[in-house]
Structure 1
């Protein structure tokens, strides 16, 4: 499903394509975003992260660097609309995955379905739920299935249908 925010993210990233490899721009944006968020919360290694941030943005022209916060704004607005794997969707939409290297994209709707199947009609009703380590785990890297499982479990509902004990 393509949302207006996803379209904007893809358009902004593609605007950087004219002089730079899109995979590298996407990766560098993700690292810069992580550094920015981390620096806002944890100051212990701020200087080291800031140096890395400056090294990354130093590789790009001003107009590309000015695109980075715009992308972050679109990501934040997409997440405010509801939990979703907006970065995975952008990665897929930009066709940056590489099946030759074993990189596959699991659509978020499929992750949602798998989470509901795992939870069934289970509800945590005031007690702490403990999920087995490795539940719905992927082989490596980001796994939106875990995020969907946690979100479904946390809310105790899916798509407006409440689970009952």
Structure 2
């Protein structure tokens, strides 16, 4: 999406909260580069969310948070919580619109704001996919994938270049439109080489309560520099769900003689379901705003376990398979996430 396209979309679709977010960002322009302020904002938001659930990385991330805050005057630092409140407000409006069918659905809020402000890395060819196109792609296949996820317990989505997470958001919306609760039936592993994109994706998926692991890494060189676990991943007990899926796939592979043909996977009546809940009925989804006390419910004391499985969303299979090292890279990501 070009800057002009992002500006037109913003002028047409932005709600009052999104406009407030942009207004607060621009208040820094007199003494700071807008690009730096935006990157600091999304990183601080990501750090604040992560430190409520991921105790294994708490100390290093708390130190980093204080380093960022130290660059700003007290009156400037007070704008960051207001910006996060505005971002939360726009997701609340969009989630409610998705639920009541009022026509105001989800979108890639931070990605569109990033492009609209003209702070993306154009020289590196950094242009985010317009959300309308992501939604079209997800809508074409999302219903079938959601139905399969509902029958099998959950589906995994692997995104090797996630940007701000727009494709995952569109997939979540496609799940909802198919009558499946994405907060229980979808798990995403997202990768991007740009740390700002990692933070944007993590914040947005966290506010939408999408179970996900967001990886700062390079899919082509197979380097991994960090993992970010969304609150939905931790609080939803996805460690255990993914562990059970791993055991299920291993046992199924033995019975199939090592074959991994999706057509044979439908004849799985010989084995128990891969997760405790065989079918997830759609339930009222949790709002994007997080309770002040939710960290007392559960915290991640050690890195989560992830697995490589055939349950990928169809819309990503060709894109991932087209890269010779992509599948091997996700194998590395999964192994690094094991404890």
1:46-85 correspondence runs (5 A): 46-82=58-94, 83-85=106-108
Shift of 1:36: 0.6
Hey, what's the Cα distance between the residues in 2 that align with 1:81 and 1:52? Answer: 31
Structure 1 unpaired stretches of 5+: 158-165
Choose which of 41, 63, 72 in structure 2 pairs with 1:29. Answer: 41
- Paired residues of 1:8 and 1:74 also in contact (CA < 8 A): yes
Partner deviation per Cα, 1:107-141 (whole Å, 9 max, x = no partner): 2222111211233666517403546x55xx46453
58-67 or 116-125: which moved more? 116-125
What's the RMSD between the two structures over aligned residues? 2.3
> Match of 1:70, SS?
helix
Matched, 1:10 2:10: no
- Paired residues of 2:108 and 2:165 also in contact (CA < 8 A): no
Which of the two has greater strand per residue?
Answer: 2
Matched, 1:111 2:130: no
Structure 2 unpaired stretches of 5+: 1-12, 95-105, 180-339
Choose which of 121, 141, 148 in structure 2 pairs with 1:98. Answer: 121
Hey, what's the Cα distance between the residues in 1 that align with 2:59 and 2:160? Answer: 33
- Residues 1:107 and 1:141: Cα distance change in structure 2 (over 3 Å): closer
Shift of 1:14: 0.6
Partner deviation per Cα, 1:9-37 (whole Å, 9 max, x = no partner): 11100101111111111111111101111
TM-score (norm 1): 0.81
Hey, what's the Cα distance between the residues in 2 that align with 1:105 and 1:76? Answer: 21
TM-score (norm 2): 0.42
59-68 or 36-45: which moved more? 36-45
Shift of 1:101: 1.5
- Paired residues of 1:88 and 1:105 also in contact (CA < 8 A): yes
